[in-house]
Chain A
Amino acid sequence: MMITAGVDVGSLTGKALILKDSEIASWSLLPTGADSTVAAGKAIDAALEKAQLSLSNIDYVVSTGYGRQIVPFAQRNITEISCHARGAHWLFPQARTILDMGGQDCKAIRCDDAGKVTNFVMNDKCAAGAGRSMEVMAELLQLPLDELGGLSLEIVAAEVPISSTCVVFAKSEALSHLRRGKHRNDILAGVCEALATRVHSLLNRVGIESEFVISGGIAKNIGIVKRLTDKTGLTPRIADEPQIVGALGAALFAEEILQRERQI
């Protein structure tokens, strides 16, 4: 019996996932807040409670994400690039291109048939292309975040073109359009189009090969997913809970490391 855990401390959310002999026992998803170490602790506690286990039952913990180096109960930390590739590949063994769109960054990853990373690029300098840009728009348009995608597909008059290179400019443009009476669905259409365009160019940098998997919070935004489907010509595979792919990959790495150690 092998029980491992993966903890993904992201910019906005902390995730933990527990594997029992390669099967998902439980997982958790909580806001990170101001302290990564506290967030990691809360995430693992929530997952442990769901699985009715305690930390001492876990044989090996791997941490990943922005806060991966300050998770005190992890035996090892591995970058989110490798963890997302690993997790996505486990869920979808034909996965060769993974797009992870998180709160503050966006990663395009190519992997081989074993789930090992062959090519990657990450944008974590700029909010354009990350979940943060959607949050800014949700706040501006006074809408819940999870409604933006759907509304962006219900165009009323015509899509309003929005600049794709900077969220600060995009917000200012959206506001101007709003004041001039453009419908917020049409503005959202422009926003999602701009975001999808930027993300698509990131994907092109590494090349796009089927199957195409999208993970991270923004995989839940159907406006972005639809536009990426159109741009890439591929229907993306999306996990039931796309935000836990990194933690899953981390837990899988933990299994692999433990298996190697036990053989020695």
Chain B
Amino acid sequence: MIAHYGYTDASGEYYIIIDTDKCDGCEECVRVCSRGVFELALDDYDKAVARVKEDVVKSIHYVCPGYGGKCINEENNCHKACPYDAISHTW
């Protein structure tokens, strides 16, 4: 399942997209993210997968700098950490 977490406002579209079919719940993204964006949770089909924390979704643009921003240059970021390329950003 492709889950889009975030929103669109007048300044742009801010979504972190997680492909839960690819995710196996390894939690590398949870560990690596310096902003604490991710957590592990059971989906409706009882599979433990990564998701954006519920209280982060509505302020995602403030919490996450976006893939085009700072994190891409850091040694570790959610894209590099995920062994399955399950995570992508729209900004």
Give Cα A159 to B73, complex, Å: 48
- Known contacts A78-B44, A81-B44; decide if A126 and B9 are in contact (CB<8 Å): yes
Dominant SS among interface residues on chain A: mixed
Chain B residues positioned under 8 Å from A119 (CB to CB):
1-4
Dominant SS among interface residues on chain B: strand
- The residue from A79, A81, A125 contacting B7, defined by CB atoms under 8 A apart: A125
Give Cα A124 to B58, complex, Å: 8
**Which positions in A face B, CB cutoff 8 Å?**
78-79, 81-82, 110, 116-126, 165-166, 198, 201-202, 205-206
- Known contacts A81-B44, A118-B1, A120-B1; decide if A126 and B7 are in contact (CB<8 Å): yes
Give Cα A206 to B4, complex, Å: 9
Closest 7 CB pairs between A and B? A121-B4, A82-B44, A119-B2, A125-B7, A165-B10, A125-B58, A78-B44
Give Cα A120 to B19, complex, Å: 11
Residue of B nearest to A164 (CB): B10
Asked if B15 is at the interface of the complex by the 8 Å CB criterion, the answer is yes
**CB proximity to A under 8 Å, residues B1-47:** 1-4, 7-10, 13, 15, 44-45
Residue of A nearest to B44 (CB): A82
Chain A residues positioned under 8 Å from B3 (CB to CB):
119-120
Q: What is the total number of residues of chain B having a CB less than 8 Å from a CB of chain A?
A: 14
Bitwise interface map of B from 40 to 59 toward A, beta carbon under 8 Å scored 1, else 0: 00001100000000000110
Given contact pairs A125-B57, A165-B10, enumerate 18 new A-B contacts (beta carbons under 8 Å). Answer: A81-B44, A110-B2, A116-B45, A117-B1, A118-B2, A119-B1, A119-B2, A119-B3, A120-B1, A121-B15, A123-B7, A123-B8, A124-B58, A125-B58, A126-B7, A126-B9, A166-B10, A201-B8
Give Cα A202 to B4, complex, Å: 10
Give Cα A165 to B13, complex, Å: 12
Give Cα A119 to B19, complex, Å: 9
Chain B residues positioned under 8 Å from A198 (CB to CB):
8
Chain A residues positioned under 8 Å from B4 (CB to CB):
119-122, 205-206
Residue of B nearest to A111 (CB): B1
Chain B residues positioned under 8 Å from A78 (CB to CB):
44
B9 to chain A, nearest CB (A): 7
Chain A residues positioned under 8 Å from B10 (CB to CB):
165-166
Residue of B nearest to A112 (CB): B1
- Assess whether A79 is in contact with B44, with CB atoms less than 8 Å apart: yes
Bitwise interface map of B from 45 to 84 toward A, beta carbon under 8 Å scored 1, else 0: 1000000000001100000000000000000000000000
A165 to chain B, nearest CB (A): 4
